[in-house]
Amino acid sequence: MVAAPRVLVVDDEPNIVDLLRMALRFHGFDVLTAATGRSALQLAVQARPDLMILDVMLPDVDGFEVCRTLRAGGQSVPVVYLTARDAHRDKIAGLTYGGDDYVTKPFAVDELVARVRAVLRRTSPPRPEPAPDPPATTLRFADVELDPDTHVVRRAGEPIELSPTEFTLLRYFLTNPNRVLSRVQILDAVWSYDFAGEPTVVDQYVSYLRRKLGRHGPSLIHTQRGFGYALRLPAAGTGR
């Protein structure tokens, strides 16, 4: 079993630390926290995090100096700065000191999580080539069928024309039935970590897919408010 990526959150504002701890754990990360630059430097050595989210304005040593010290000591842990300082010269300084990305406050949690995943993807060592995939089999849920080889989709026996993105989105839902999928998870799977758009693109494509599937039966893609979407059967007697 692959261990969850470990993220060290360094910020002296408890509300931000609590928000990031909950959000990152929800998305499958192991989370450590620190409130000062000195404690962050100690944890970076002791706990060996996979990534650090680092506030610039800390009460003892500022985040730029923390990053510079890490790099001078041979520590290559990726760093995503989190700060209210959004001047262009501050961003250049942060990246010059060895940072990997720069997010300004206030921030959207989904965007920050997506950036964390993007940095981890860029900085992780390459994985060995996987073994060839076995022949694809038709995916089914309720009366929906998707053939990965022929790209044919049917509902209740009727063919449904989907765009390539809609097809990939439906395939992701079909491989994760009855599971709540967040917008960031869907972005990662369908558009990849490097997608530069907004998470709201997920809402648009879910709407397109619902409309096409809904021509032949009740809705199967349900909104879990505050979390994301799930492919599941309608509640008994509701058709929803």
Give, for all 240 residues of the chain, the pLDDT tens digit. Answer: 567 899 999 999 999 999 999 999 988 899 999 999 999 999 999 999 999 999 988 999 888 899 989 988 888 899 999 887 665 566 666 666 678 888 888 888 888 998 899 888 887 766 666 566 566 689 999 999 999 888 899 999 999 998 888 899 999 999 999 999 988 888 888 876 545 455 678 888 899 999 999 999 999 999 988 889 999 998 765 555
**153 in a structural domain:** yes
Residues linked to residue 52 through DSSP beta bridges, in sequence order = 8, 79
Identify the residue whose tokens are 């009740």.
218
The CATH number of residue 12's host domain is 3.40.50.2300
Same domain for 210 and 185: yes
**115 in a structural domain:** yes
**237 in a structural domain:** no
Same domain for 151 and 71: no
Q: Which two tokens stand for residue 111?
A: 């965007």
The CA distances from residue 60 to 24, 102, 105, 212, in Å, are 26, 20, 20, 56
Say how many domains are in the chain: 2
Give the residue from 123, 154, 179 where a domain finishes: 123
3-state secondary structure of 227: coil
**216 in a structural domain:** yes
According to the model, what pLDDT value does residue 20 have? Answer: 92
The CATH number of residue 175's host domain is 1.10.10.10
**195 in a structural domain:** yes
Distance of alpha carbon 221 from alpha carbon 210, whole angstroms = 7
Same domain for 194 and 87: no
According to the model, what pLDDT value does residue 85 have? Answer: 66
Return the number of other C-beta atoms located less than 10 Å from residue 132's C-beta.
6
Domain of residue 36, residue span: 6-123
Same domain for 119 and 11: yes
Same domain for 13 and 110: yes
Same domain for 146 and 82: no
Same domain for 115 and 25: yes
Distance of alpha carbon 198 from alpha carbon 166, whole angstroms = 17
Distance of alpha carbon 82 from alpha carbon 85, whole angstroms = 9
Same domain for 144 and 117: no
